[in-house]
Structure 1
Amino acid sequence: MTAATLTDPRVQAWDFGDFPYGLEPLTMPPTGDARAVRHAAAPDVPDCDVDRVCAELRLLDGGRHGAGRFDLPPASTYEQLFWFRWISGHQVTFALWRLMGALLAEYPADGPAPGGAVLDRLETYVHGYGAMLLYSGSCPRDLYTTLIRPAMFLQHRGFSGTWAPDFRQVRSLLRGRSRGWLQEDDAAGVRAAVEAHRAIHEDVAARLVPNGRSLLQDSVAEAPVSPSERTSVLYDNFFMTLRAPVTDAAVAGQLLRRLRAVALDLAANGLYPLGRDEAVDETQPEGAMVAHGERRLGTVVTAVGSHTADVAWRSS
């Protein structure tokens, strides 16, 4: 794996975790079955220079254009790189779900439709979720099979994405059972983003797990487990996520720090540093959506950063 040499001093060095491709815990508000630890002080959330990060994201363009005089050291192994992507990509997703859920809470199913600015923000967040599915799932199938899936199995043999506490806020939207105003013409972009997310999700799942059976499906006959406070803790623990009464501004700051690390990684290594297991069939509608998502991943990362900055400024 080679390092990326960037040439614009306006982009500073890697500052996420203790070393390049290192991890940081994410602190999220309590939600659903995920509760804050009683009588425990909220952990310190790292400061985020919102203006600087947004400027750097625009220069990096989500990793499409190297910018900044910065030699990014390679990860010591591909296992480290893809483990970073699996954990950090999911953390980005949790923060996106939180911000999406906050928007949806302002516009209930039987209420008036939001304005164009809100719909644009929601559309960008959904595309951001699709981008993180691609990013997290960019590892080769054999590495997923030997590194990531066994680690989840050791956490719980029925480990499941259905346990994700923050998904509850956006489940109806992403599964097509949401607000009436989403059927209006002005929300066509949001509907298209949801369809693209579904196509990406199915492509990543089929590529990484060709037999189509999740850990939950493999274990359901032996040990069926429903989402609960316990499964929320197991899920959060695996993805280094803590629960405390933090503000949306704090969530936004943590999201921006992760988006910057993602952009630096993509600038150094590209989306598929070890290649794609199989080519996407762009002659099919679903394949075309996946390929489009791959090509514009950097643009989406930058756009998500811009909207996230608005939350950080407005909520601080």
Structure 2
Amino acid sequence: MKKYFLLLAGLFMFSSFSFAQEGIKDVSLGFCNDGTGSLVNKYTIMIEPGQKQELCIYIENKSNENIVVKYSFPKASFSKGGNQLCDTSNDFARFLVDNSNRQLILSGNSSITVKEMVSPPLGSMGMYYGCLAYQLGKAEVENMGGMFNLVVRKAVHLNLFVGSEDSISNTVQLIPVTGSLYSSNKNIGASVNEDGDLMLKFNVKNNGNLTQNVSLSGKLYNPLGFERPFDAPIRKLLPGDVYEISVNLGIVPFYKGLFSARVSVIGEPLFEFDATGIDEKFKQPTIIKETASLFIFSWVYVILALIILGLIVKIIVPKKKTAE
């Protein structure tokens, strides 16, 4: 009996695996709010707290298999490369009206339109990133209690800007850097690494409620004509996030004395929702500029200076004693 049970289990496992490999490509899900009949896998809404807006979800099963579809609304995060990633939680569901029935069985070669209601809670404000994540499994296996259910998880992106036009804020700011020993400005860090290279460090914070493309550029210079420009890659920065920038300026001629650093930061707002009709003043980039005096020196020159000072003292002191 046990032998037949294991054989049956193996058949179900193989059947589920085959569905995951072949059937999954025949199942599509997307948003259908634009009214054109086409599906989109990323949808962004501008909505005020407490308001409601219908969310249209279209699911199509082109396979011959009956499938179970379970969906949820996890929050999203971003990779360093700027790709939107979906968590495994259901935290983003707080922006939708409660719905206890987010599971359905879809017959082979059929489709269905599902309606949800977006309604951000009072007190929420700004840009929020989430996902509509859905899991697919074979209906026959699901009905057996899920013992052999092989689930495939996919997702599309649902993003919200909660607030009105007047609540849009797109400011960026340089914030203090720890360990700025050689700099007169706490927002511009300066240090010398083990190889003798001058390192400049910056922390750029997105103080607004829109995602922004942040860029940084500047110049190191001194009164003797030395100049060395620098910049940093453009980074997509979410509201409240900090872009930590480190720039290697190589070895600089420390003997040329005092240096200055001038830096410019530009934050360009990204309107991921329909910004038609929004006042142009909200679309302008934020530009901030700061400077710092850098007291850069090499320990080699400090030691040489101390040696020279010691020799001078050694020469002058005996002469004073002789004169007395």
The two structures have a TM-score, normalised by structure 1, of 0.20
Higher relative contact order (CA 8 A, sep 6+): 1
The two structures have a TM-score, normalised by structure 2, of 0.20
Give the greater-gyration-radius structure (CA): 2
* Higher relative helix content: 1
* Higher relative strand content: 2
